[in-house]
Chain A
Amino acid sequence: MNKKILSAPYLLWSVVFIIIPLLMVFYYGLTDKSGAFTLENILAIATVEHSKALWLAIKLSIESTIICLILAYPLSMILAKLNVNQHSFIVFIFILPMWMNFLLRTLAWQTLLEKTGVINSILKTIGLPGINIINTSGAIILGMVYNFLPFMVLPIYNSLSKIDKNVINAARDLGANGFQTFLKIMLPLSTPGIISGITMVFVPALTTFVISTLLGGSKILLIGNVIEQEFTQTGNWHLGSGLSIVLMIFIIVNMLITAITDKDGEGTML
């Protein structure tokens, strides 16, 4: 009984801030301006403009997730091998940018990458040709990787550092060389961390509109940008909600697939 009372604030919180907004999204998404039920807002994803934005968002988030994974795994391995003092310092350095505002960090990249920005000025000074990366998909991927890399490193690092050193030693002792030990022991034992990292990078990358707005200019529209515009510029909440529902269903399906793949259920967010 007492315990139930204690959970009341959380229950209230989730009703007010999670369940009600979600129901509102569904209400708007499934009605038209007159309030009548319609599937039009959802089916709107099939239009060329919208499906292109969704497809591009998927493509860029998959690419950034893969780059994050490739960068994060070796780094996590190095971190897990260091002793406590060394690794907590490096983890600290790594997490430090996360204490700064996400918007600011992305704005900083904009300044760095601009045609007349910091990087190009330096390149010009030393006589090299400038790079033209701002307002391209490349800049968006760079922004995604920069912002979301820690979310890939931390779960992988956690799962790697949980592996008993003697388990690795046992594999070596039983005849496995370094590569075989990695493939048959370390990789499978860190899979929960990898899956969790993929989820934590892929989902925010798929839905982002800030990174694509700041680093992609107005030329590159991701599904996040389309939804944002429906709410802030066009003012069509119904279409914005409908597209959000599509994106939500897409993410849920994805997470279900990872949950099934990861049979231990350790690493998923579901």
Chain B
Amino acid sequence: MKKLVDLQNISKSFDGELIIDDLNLYIRENEFLTLLGPSGCGKTTTLRILGGFETPDTGKVIFEGTDITKLPPNKRPLNTVFQKYALFTHMTIAENIAFGLKIKNKSKSYINDKIKYALKLVNLDGYENRMPDSLSGGQQQRIAIARAIVNEPKLLLLDEPLGALDLKLRQDMQYELIRLKNELGITFIYVTHDQEEALTMSDTIVVMNKGYIQQIGTPEKIYNEPENAFVADFIGDSNILPGIMIEDKLVEILGAKFACVDEGFGNNTPVDVVIRPEDVELVPEGTGTIEGEVSHVIFKGVHYEMEVMARGYEWLVQSTKCFQVGTKVGIKVDPFNIQIMNKPVSEDEEAIGVDE
């Protein structure tokens, strides 16, 4: 697929504080790309640079081969859906949606057709003459999306658009957004701190922390093969353990040897090991690779979440089988489910500030 947007060597600081440091990223046509990270990681600033609301200190924004770094927002061939809807409260829904088209001097009949089409698309037909304040949060967000897409942008930027909605509505809207993207065939860049949202909707996830890109990949790749401890910790629950790569396909964790599938880390290299809680297998005492004792059990609906104390480390385990607190168990892990990562060598790979 063709590159639509190319961010080259973007840096930005506010009041002497570096928010984005030498960021390079391209977005392909028709992609659903999510910028994911904790607050303050630079994801929103990246989006605002794309929208034209911030100018980067260094670097270029290339859109279809043209440098748009210095172009004001109203001249850019893209539209934004803002966090708290940002509807024009003094205008009706129809006037809100028509705003961009009127500025572009489109004909009345064209605008009316577009309003009808956009309202149908977001399942709110018949709302033309309502005022924004009389709509629920979810409906207002749909209008904000409708208002953006009637302008037929090549790229739609979405800044945590579902952040203000409740859980059920948020899940419904996630499916709506995927449907919209497929129907419209435009590129979405989505900003969120919600890893589940990112995994559900994206073609590509860009995990960011402290102004650096930590990993770029498909949701499966990001979840199953995190490149460093930050990504592993931020995306879902995980056990991150210190380990030593003894040789190819053999890692020592907490003094016990586990078979794995990773190669090329060298011999006797210290590494980080990620094991997802659902990949930890609990077996009867004496049959596991290492032995431990169940210390906590919580029922989570689909599965039980247990903590198992083994060799001084509290293992997080998710299983449909329940083991009572105090049960002595063995721990086994399938070689495919052990993910080996290099220890952080430079600052930008450090797993810092997850809770910040």
Contact = CB atoms under 8 A, between A and B. Distances in A.
Contact of A170 (B86, B103, B104): B86
A173 B47 CA distance: 13
B147 to A, nearest CB: 7
B318 to A, nearest CB: 39
A174 B53 contact: no
A164 B86 contact: yes
A14 to B, nearest CB: 33
Interface string A163-198: 010110111111111001000110011000000000
Interface in B53-86: 53, 72-74, 76, 79-80, 82-84, 86
B51 interface: yes
Contact of B80 (A169, A177, A189): A169
B337 to A, nearest CB: 43
Interface residues of A, number: 17
A175 B86 contact: no
B100 A175 contact: yes
A112 B51 CA distance: 53
Contact of A189 (B90, B103, B104): B90
Given A171-B99, A173-B51, A174-B79, A166 B84 contact: yes
Nearest to A181: B74
Given A180-B103, A188-B90, A174 B147 contact: yes
Nearest to B90: A188
A175 B104 contact: yes
Interface in A33-91: none
A172 B74 contact: yes
B9 interface: no
Contacts of B104: 175
Interface size class, chain B: 20 to 34
B151 interface: yes
A164 B87 CA distance: 10
B89 interface: yes
Query: Which among A174, A175, A177, A184 has the greatest number of chain B C-beta atoms within 10 A?
Result: A174
B88 interface: yes
Query: Which among B51, B88, B148 has the greatest number of chain A C-beta atoms within 10 A?
Result: B88
Contacts of B51: 169, 173
A170 B161 CA distance: 13
Contacts of B82: 166, 169-170
Chain A binding surface, main DSSP class: helix
A265 to B, nearest CB: 13
Nearest to B72: A172
B74 A175 contact: yes
A60 B82 CA distance: 46
B72 to A, nearest CB: 7
Nearest to B147: A174
A185 B80 CA distance: 17
Nearest to A187: B90
Given A188-B90, A189-B90, A173 B84 contact: no
B86 A167 contact: yes
Contacts of A172: 52-53, 72-74
Given A169-B53, A169-B80, A169-B82, A189 B99 contact: no
Contacts of A175: 74, 100, 103-104, 151
Contacts of A170: 80, 82, 86-88, 144, 147
Nearest to B98: A174
Nearest to A264: B90
Contact of B88 (A169, A171, A177): A171
Query: Which among A172, A176, A185, A189 has the greatest number of chain B C-beta atoms within 10 A?
Result: A172
B90 to A, nearest CB: 5
A122 B88 CA distance: 52
A134 B156 CA distance: 62
B85 to A, nearest CB: 8
Contacts of B100: 174-175
A174 B86 contact: no
A24 B278 CA distance: 84
Contacts of B144: 170
Given A174-B103, A174-B147, A180-B103, A169 B86 contact: yes
Contact of B86 (A166, A176, A184, A188): A166
Contacts of B52: 172-173
A173 B90 contact: no
B4 to A, nearest CB: 18
Contacts of B79: 173-174
A184 B102 CA distance: 11
Contacts of B53: 169, 172
Contacts of B72: 172, 177
A192 B51 CA distance: 31
B45 to A, nearest CB: 14
Query: Which among B72, B90, B148 has the greatest number of chain A C-beta atoms within 10 A?
Result: B90
Which 6 pairs show the lowest CB-CB distances between chains A and B? A174-B100, A166-B86, A172-B73, A170-B86, A166-B82, A175-B103
8 contacts: A164-B86, A173-B52, A173-B74, A173-B148, A174-B74, A176-B74, A177-B72, A189-B89
Given A173-B73, A174-B103, 14 more contacts: A167-B86, A169-B73, A169-B86, A171-B99, A172-B53, A172-B73, A173-B52, A173-B80, A173-B148, A174-B74, A174-B147, A177-B72, A184-B99, A185-B88
